[in-house]
């Protein structure tokens, strides 16, 4: 996690009233968005700053987001966004750091309108999330074939990201079922030889953190 501060963004909120002018700045640890529509924002700061950002999100306010490479965009989470707040205790620090995750209405409806936002590193992860969001009958062994179809059909669209590499997958459950049916008929994929529960690979939190650490080196 060396030089982690170089991968942080900056979120600014400026509000002007008849009597006051307020400017709030907080650091961004994670972000997913497309154009001006923000889908996920993860920020941290002190009590008052996080409280102000939370209120601004509920007011459908616009923010100025500066990416780690210096790119600047005006963004908003839009209507019906949700906020989740927590505290992070740091050794040697008297007061905890406040952390806020804000997500858009679209993320709450992930997969329901043929649009699924993902941040995955492998075909297996993409397939696991898609089959869950879309309610598909699936086994892990189909991941490579189905992901190949999605790639060939141009269904992946890169999104703006901080702390992740998000993508928008545009596909409906009916389309996926049609591809699964065709692949089964052709023998490109097969049903499991035995009946029983489907066992998906398990990944511990420690393994995930270790992988992130390796990628950050």
pLDDT tens-digit map of 89-111: 878 878 888 999 999 999 888 87
The model's pLDDT over 21-33, given as tens digits with 9 standing for 90+, comes to 889 999 999 999 9
Q: What's the pLDDT score for residue 206?
A: 61
Q: Cα 204 to the chain's mean position, in Å?
A: 19
Q: What's the pLDDT score for residue 217?
A: 54
CA distance 116 to 137: 17
Q: Is the pLDDT of residue 148 over 60?
A: yes
pLDDT band at residue 12, thresholds of 50, 70 and 90? very high
Q: What's the pLDDT score for residue 121?
A: 72
**Mean per-residue pLDDT, 175-189:** 95
In the chain, what are the domain boundaries? 4-107, 109-216
Lowest mean pLDDT among 114-118, 130-134, 169-173, 202-206: 202-206
Q: What's the pLDDT score for residue 124?
A: 87
């Amino acid at each position: 996690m060396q030089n982690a501060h170089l991968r942080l963004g900056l979120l600014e909120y400026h509000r002007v009233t008849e009597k006051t002018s307020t400017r709030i700045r907080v650091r961004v640890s994670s972000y997913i968005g497309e154009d001006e529509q923000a889908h996920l924002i993860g920020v941290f700061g002190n009590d008052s700053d996080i409280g102000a950002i939370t209120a601004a999100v509920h007011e459908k306010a616009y923010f100025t987001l500066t990416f780690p490479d210096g790119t600047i965009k005006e963004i908003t989470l839009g209507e019906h966004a949700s906020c989740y707040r927590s505290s992070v205790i740091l050794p040697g620090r008297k007061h905890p750091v406040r952390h806020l995750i804000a997500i858009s209405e679209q993320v709450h409806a992930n997969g329901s309108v043929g649009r699924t936002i993902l941040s995955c590193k492998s075909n297996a992860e993409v397939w696991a999330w898609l089959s869950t969001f879309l309610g598909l009958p699936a086994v892990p062994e189909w991941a490579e074939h189905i992901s190949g179809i999605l790639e060939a059909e141009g269904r992946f669209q890169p999104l703006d990201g901080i702390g992740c590499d998000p993508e928008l997958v545009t596909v409906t459950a009916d389309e996926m079922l049609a591809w699964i049916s065709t692949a089964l008929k052709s023998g490109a994929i097969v049903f499991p030889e035995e009946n029983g529960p489907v066992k998906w690979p398990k990944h511990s939190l420690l393994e995930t953190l270790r992988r992130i650490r390796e990628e950050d080196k």
